[in-house]
Structures are given as structure tokens and as C-alpha cells.
A and B are shown apart, each in its own frame.
Chain A
């Protein structure tokens, strides 16, 4: 076998392989482009194999063989033109003209008896060179509007077509000028090899080449991601992603559906301004979301018959949809669509997946950025609110001093006066109440600002609770302290006073004057337990969950009878927690309520105090004046 023969067999094998690949693709996802690709490679293979097959059958001199070769060769540039037309419609005049001329040229081959005279032989050569060149030009032209793998593949097909035209041109030259045949033969061999390689790369590029061709696009997507993330709004992000998807896939348009977990649907913001809701699994896009795979169809009407009418109306035929998923979090789906099937469907599907991946990163980062900004804004608003509350409370404190002192002075000088005594008492009581409210308020604000400090000292809790109960004022005689033994530990005296007086004060306030209030104190599990039980109005189930929240007030509380800010229990819980414990409540409407506070008796407190050795020193000198104000 000579080298030339070997090359001949090799090219036959390659074309046969390409044809098989194209045929498999055609069966898997039929489309006009797939038909044309298969036809093109099939015709080349048939022309190349025809003579050998005929030789095997002893028909190498049959005139039908000549006609078949003639018609096949003449059909090649026409099919190429159809492929270019599949990618982007060519002017209809050119398409009709090409078909008309093909019929004429083919007819010449069929009608003129063989062997064909020289001038007749030139006809198909001229035809193939002319139309093949035009088709190549059309491919090169269209490839400029594409990116990545598609662009390279179209360029390869264009080069192959040009080489095909060259091969036939050389054949024509050798017919007209037989003297040039040896040189032409060598050139033809080279062109034939190039042609084969070009079509191979164009119609069935190997994976590594695809990846290499795709890399610049990947790079570009990665490079522009930070800028996309900085887009001011999510709408802007989506708009740019859609634009990129359309550009890179050559689709007519792209749509993004975002997953709305609350509604359980994919939400599409249509270019028209409308909003479209879609269930996972519904339409092509919903299927990509549900299966988390790239879904492609070259015939949406057939593949999603339940929505055939809508697709037909919208003029959508080909769709590639890819899930937008970041770190396993399903964010949505990206779908590109076109009125005609894509030339290289696998490229479009791959590109859609790439852009969807970028979209996932961008959407996720954008959302995170926005969340961070919201958290910052919230923190700032909270800080402003705390500052404001703090300033207001302090501004109230100064005039309150004047009112308190003057009310007391009035009481001293006119307290015995029958006409004024009641008013002065009321003035003093209200001023004192206002003072307590402001203090409660400030404690809450300071706690939120982290300004509240614990001042612990070794104390017997039983004695402390007894003193606190003694200080509750009217109703003291209803309160019964049940404590078997001392409960020594480290406690903040003022805070524990506040805790006991809040709980006991509430118990007295929300129960009838003839019912007892029981305060129990015991030690267990290293904790001090303090419970306060009343037999009063109780707390409704709804309120029970909210009872320790700031500014919460029970539904069954008569505001005129029992004024308050709703901070008492919130502060009580703070005190318990500051002491390493907590507070719980059980209650029954109309039967009564029990609050139980736990306090860690020392270890927790000592751990907390260990960090601040200067505290006790400052305390001893400054204690007497403010400590007694609560």
C-alpha cells in the first residue's frame, strides 16, 4: 500500500467516524442543524467510499457511480450553506438561487452522457468553488458574533469548506491544464488532509480542545464577577447576567428565575416587566431546577407538550436551561432560548451552565453583601436609638431631682395641712414612680450598650431576700418567706433587691389583697432557687411566652390600675442571667403565677469578677451615696 493509498483509507475512516458521531447526535436530539451536519458528512463519506464499494461489487464502470459522485460533490456546498443558514438565516434570495443552480448543475451531470467532455467537467468545479467559498465566508462572518468553543468550531468548518473548494479547484485546474497534474496532486493531498482535520475539529472537537477553547470565556467570566457583585441592585445583576448569557450562547434572549422558598416557586421577572411564577419541574426551566442538571431541547413544543401553545406563541423552539446553585444552595435557574435550534447544541448547554455558575456566585455574594449592609444599618439604627434613649433619660433625671426635692420639702412644711396633704403625697408618689421608670429604662439601655457592671459581694441570700421583702412597702404583711437554711454566695446586693422587689411587687400587684404571696428559697445543684407564688389573675398562654420580653405587657392587665413600662420582668431575667442563672414562669389564668429564678452562687460570678481586680477598690469609696438610691 502506498502512502497515498494509506491516506485515502485514513480519510475514509475519519469521515465514516464523523458521520457515525453526527448520526448518533441526530438520533439523540433531532434538529435541522443535526440533519444537515449528518447529511454533509454522509455525502462526503458516500462519495469517498462509493468507488471502492462499487469496485468490490464489480460496478466501477457503471454510469450511476459517476452520476452519484457528480450530484454528491455538487450537493456539498449547498448543505454547507444550509448549515450556515441553520446558525443564522441567510438572505432568502441566495438560498433560493443556490437551490435553483444546484438543480441545474445536478441535471447536467445526470443528462449529459458519460464520459463527460472537458468543459462539462469544469461545471461542478466552478459551482463547488463558488458556492463553497461563499459558504466559508458566511461561516467566518457568523463566527465573529460567537464566543468560545462555538466560534472556533465555526472557524474550523469555514476553513474546511475553503479547503474543500480548493481541492475541487485544483481538480479543475488539472482537467484544464493536464501538464500540472503531478504538482496539483501533491497540493491536493495536503489540502485533503487539512480539510479532514478541519472538519474533524469543527464537527467533533475532542474534550481537551473544547476546554482550551472555553478557557478565555471562563477567565472573562471570573474577571468580571467582582464588578457584577458590586452592581447596585439585584435587578441590575440579573440584567447583566442575562445579557452575558445571550451574548455567549448566541441565543435570542435569556431569562432568570429565582427560587422563592416562601412561595415554593421560581419567580421570573420578564423583560416586559411582568412576573411569572413557575413550579419546580414545570416547563423546561423548572425541570433544570428540579433535576439540578442542564436541560436542553431543540423542540420545546414536543418536549414540554403541556406548554406547547405558550412556546409556539412566544416563538421559542430551542431552550437550554441550567440550575443556578451555590454551595448546594438552590438559587434559581438560567434559561436561554431561540427561535431555531442551536448549531452546536452541546456548546450552548455548556456555556449556559458556565454563565449559570457565574450567576450563582454573583447572586450569592450580592445577597451576602446586602445582608451585611443591612446588619450594619440595623446596628447603627440600634446604636442611635440607644443613644437617643440614653440622652432623653439623662435629661429627665435633672429636672426630676428638683421635683423630688421640692415635693419632699413641701411635704415637710405642708404635709400636715388637711387641704394639701393628699396632693403633696400624690406629687411625691408620682415623682418617685417616674424616677423608678427612668432608672429601669436606663438599666435596659445600659445593658444593651454593655455598660452594666456586676458588683458582687459575699452575702447570705436568705437575709438579702428578707431585707428586700421588708422594703416592698404596702402589702408586706401578705408576703411569707419560706427558707429552711442560709444560702450563702456571691451576689450583687442592689440587683438581687431589684429582682426580689420586682417579682414580689408583681405578685402583690396582680393578686387580691386578701391572698398570700409565698417566697421560697432553697439551694440545689449548686444553684440558689428563688420562687415567688401568687394566687392572682394569672398569665394567659399567649403572654406567657412573651412575658420576659422588653416592653411586653399582659393582655389581661388593666393599664389604669397597674401602670408600668413592661420592663420589670425583663430586668429580673437580666439579673438572674447576670448571676449565671435564669428565670422561668408557670401560670394558670385566674389561679395564680409562680416565677422561679436561679442564681449561680459563686463560681460563675467569681469567674466573671476575676477579670476586674480594681472593681472592689473603687466600690468601697464610692458605694454609700448611689447604692441607696434604688
Chain B
């Protein structure tokens, strides 16, 4: 199983922190700063799980989910946001779970183990 976990967030500090945790656990990681970049990464190499920030400049979380559906790609997506509306947003885009910021290493690994096969 060489499918990576795709981390999509416009905040480089979050991308780096999450990448560090996952790599430390020996998991392959790809990162993207917005929805468009994430779509490019997905076409190159299908991920096993997408950790998706919703509010991003460029193509945001909703746009990304729409493009994904339009392309007929089915992927487990976990919404990763600081907003109070996290749950509603997750339902809107058909995400499998919500990871509310701030989260720690334990919560991150719980989610990856549950939804990243």
C-alpha cells in the first residue's frame, strides 16, 4: 500500500506539522496549498485519505469536493477546520469525519487509523 495521505491546507505551518507527525509514523504524505494543487496531486498519485481545510484562497474545500465528484473520483475526505460550522460543512461535501482545530497528535492519528485503512 503506497497510497499517500494528502494534506490540503493553505497554512504551511499546519501542512508541515501534520506531515511531520505522519512521516514519523512511517506514512507517505503529499501536501497541497489549495484545491487545484490537490487535484493535480491526486491525478498523479491516488491518495488513501484527504485531510482537507475548507477555507483556502484559490479553489477552496467546497470547490475541491465538487471537482472531485465531477471527475467521478471517490475518496475518503476528513474536514480539518477551526470554524464552528465544521459539522455542517462536512455534511455539505459528504466528508467521512471532522477534525476540529486545534487537534493534537493523538486525534490526528485516531482519524488516520480509522479512515486511512
* Docked-complex contact B114 and A624, CB < 8 angstroms: yes
Q: Are A405 and B84 in contact (CB under 8 A)?
A: no
- Determine if B17 and A402 form an interchain contact, defined as CB atoms under 8 angstroms apart: yes
* Given A398-B14, A625-B97, A625-B98, A405:B104 Cβ within 8 A: yes
Please, how many residues of chain A have a CB less than 8 angstroms from a CB on the other chain?
Answer: 29
**Inter-subunit contact B18/A405 (CB<8 Å):** yes
- The majority secondary structure among interface residues of chain A is helix
A446 in the interface, Cβ–Cβ < 8 Å?
yes
Contact A629 B103 (CB under 8 A): yes
Q: Are B11 and A404 in contact (CB under 8 A)?
A: no
Q: Is residue B13 within 8 Å, beta carbon to beta carbon, of the partner chain?
A: yes
- A442 and B84 form a contact (CB under 8 A): yes
- B110 CB to closest chain A CB (Å) equals 7
Residues of chain A within 8 A of B14, CB atoms compared: 398, 401-402
Task: Find out whether the CB atom of A394 lies under 8 angstroms from the CB atom of B78.
Answer: no
**A388-420: which residues lie under 8 A (CB-CB) from chain B?**
390, 394-395, 397-406, 408-409, 412
**B window 59-103: CB within 8 A of A:** 78, 82-84, 86-87, 90-91, 96-103
Q: Which residues of A contact B96 (CB under 8 A)?
A: 621
Chain A residue at minimal CB-CB distance from B95 = A622
Of B24, B99, B111, the residue contacting A409 (CB under 8 A) is: B24
In the assembled complex, A435 has its CB within 8 A of some CB on chain B: yes
A405 contacts which chain B residues (CB < 8 A)?
Answer: 17-18, 20-21, 103-105, 108
Interface residues of A in 339-366 (CB under 8 A from B): none
Indicate whether A626 reaches chain B with its CB closer than 8 angstroms.
yes
Report if A401-B101 is in contact (Cβ < 8 Å); known contacts: A394-B84, A412-B24. yes
Q: Is A2 an interface residue (CB 8 A)?
A: no
- Residue A525 at the B interface, CB < 8 A? no
Contact check, A390 vs B84: say whether CB atoms are below 8 A apart. yes
**CB of A628 within 8 Å of the partner chain:** yes
Could you tell me the distance in whole angstroms from the C-beta of B73 to the nearest C-beta in chain A?
Answer: 20
Chain B, interface size category, equals 20 to 34
B37 within 8 A of A: no
A451 at the interface (CB under 8 A from B): yes
Q: Which of A401, A451, A618, A628 contacts B102 (CB 8 A)?
A: A401
The docked-state distance in angstroms from the alpha carbon of A400 to that of B106 is: 15
Closest to B88 in A: A618
A406-B17, A409-B20 in contact; A625/B102 too (CB < 8 A)? no
| A398 and B82 contact, CB distance less than 8 A | yes
Taking the nearest CB of chain A, how far is it from the CB of B75, in angstroms? 16
Given contacts A409-B21, A622-B98, contact A404 B104 (CB under 8 A): yes
Smallest CB gap from B105: residue in A? A408
Residues of B within 8 A of A397 (CB): 82, 100-102
Contact status B84-A451, CB under 8 Å = yes
Residues of B within 8 A of A390 (CB): 84
Identify the closest chain B residue to A625 (Cβ): B97
Interface residues of A in 444-458 (CB under 8 A from B): 446, 451
Residue pair A629, B100 in contact (C-beta under 8 Å): yes
When chains A and B are docked, how far (Å) is the Cα of A328 from the Cα of B15? 69
- With both beta carbons as reference points, the residue of chain B lying nearest to A397 in the complex is identified as B82
**CB < 8 Å: which of B78, B90, B101 contacts A398?**
B101
Tell me which of B20, B21, B99 contacts A626 (CB under 8 A): B99
Closest to B17 in A: A405
Contact B78 A625 (CB under 8 A): yes
User: Which residues from A are CB-within-8-Å of B100?
Assistant: 397, 625-626, 629
Chain A residues lying within 8 Å of B82, measured Cβ to Cβ, are 394-395, 397-398, 401
The residue from A394, A409, A438 contacting B17, defined by CB atoms under 8 A apart: A409
* Chain A neighbourhood of B108, CB < 8 A: 405
Q: Which residue of A lies closest to B20 (CB)?
A: A409
**B102 near A626: Cβ-Cβ < 8 Å:** no
- Given A404-B105, A446-B84, A625-B97, 13 additional A-B pairs, CB 8 A: A398-B14, A401-B101, A403-B102, A404-B104, A405-B17, A405-B20, A622-B87, A624-B97, A624-B111, A625-B107, A626-B86, A626-B98, A628-B107
**In the complex, the 7 A-B pairs of residues with the closest C-beta atoms, listed nearest first:** A397-B82, A400-B102, A405-B17, A401-B102, A625-B97, A402-B13, A408-B105
A interface list, Cβ under 8 A from B: 390, 394-395, 397-406, 408-409, 412, 435, 438, 442, 446, 451, 618, 621-622, 624-626, 628-629
